[in-house]
Chain A
Amino acid sequence: MEQILKNLFDFQRFARDPALQRIIDEAENYTEAIELSDDMLDLAAGGTAIDPQKIKGAKK
């Protein structure tokens, strides 16, 4: 199954099925939101400033 998934997702980089692309994009956006919320918690606790690139990324 792993090899089939590798093949199918590689084919996706070519064919760009919209439903599958939405799933990939959602996963990536979800991880960016976690990173951003971790940074904000850190900032609230008096930590270092948020990397502007991360904010930019979260607006996608």
Chain B
Amino acid sequence: MTNKLSLLFISLLFITNPFKAQDNPEDLLNLVNEKPKKEFTTATFKTTRVINFHTTEVLSRRSLDFRISHRFGDANTGAYNAWGLDGTANIRLGLEYSQNGRFMFGLGRTSTKKIVDGFLKYKLIRQAKNGGSPVSVTLFSAAYQTFEHVNTNGFDKYQVYTDRLSYCNQIMVSRKFNSRLSMQLTAAMVHVNLAEKLTNGNDCFVAGFLARYKFTKRQAITFEYAYRLNKYSKDNYYDSFGIGYDLETGGHVFQINFTNSFGLTENQFYMYNTSTWSKWGIRLGFNISRVFSLQGRPKTND
């Protein structure tokens, strides 16, 4: 009996001595190693746009983004027009800001059709490692107003103010598969108050697909395509399709791209593309994004 008891206690001693191994610094960390923490995925895409289309990215906290987007003319205009470099060009200047890294807003002015746009964007769900969502979901809502004066034969096209307005709502779902590859699906709806022709509809529904492949730490190739789901016009418009190259240099991101879209706002590039890749109706374009970080350290990373 005594022996049995002693044996029991001795064996207990061995079983319940978890500190034995901690003489070695290798094992010390096991004492504090908690479960891997939930970690939000960052930089699914390099900027808030891939070429023309919005990505699920929202600017980081206290960041101001100054964007210049420029599109040259159609490449199929020939040597006399320097394959589009001579024009007609379209340019958008934008100023965008986020205070908390989840919600952002932006204002922009586009030269063609003298469009002023304003948008709100909110990152609803953030992709995360270790027990988080597998995808990021971002909501987007924008309004556009054209300031163009169109007066034909004494008839003012925009006699009614609201005819100048159009809108876009989007829901975007993206996933960063690994540090190189990210993909996104977009569902968008554009509403224009003024249908250009009697036979035109006011709404256009779009399914978009975006991808990014990073081939070095600072360079990536990008891709975007938007499929229009409904017939809103009898005119020949084409789906927007673009490929691009991203180069990141510290505070700047340069995006050089080829796309058949001339417009720089959703109400244009989703709906009214008059040129097509099959007839070299593509153009060279670039976006420059310059982010100014307003300093301020948060308490945590969330």
Q: Do A and B bind each other?
A: no
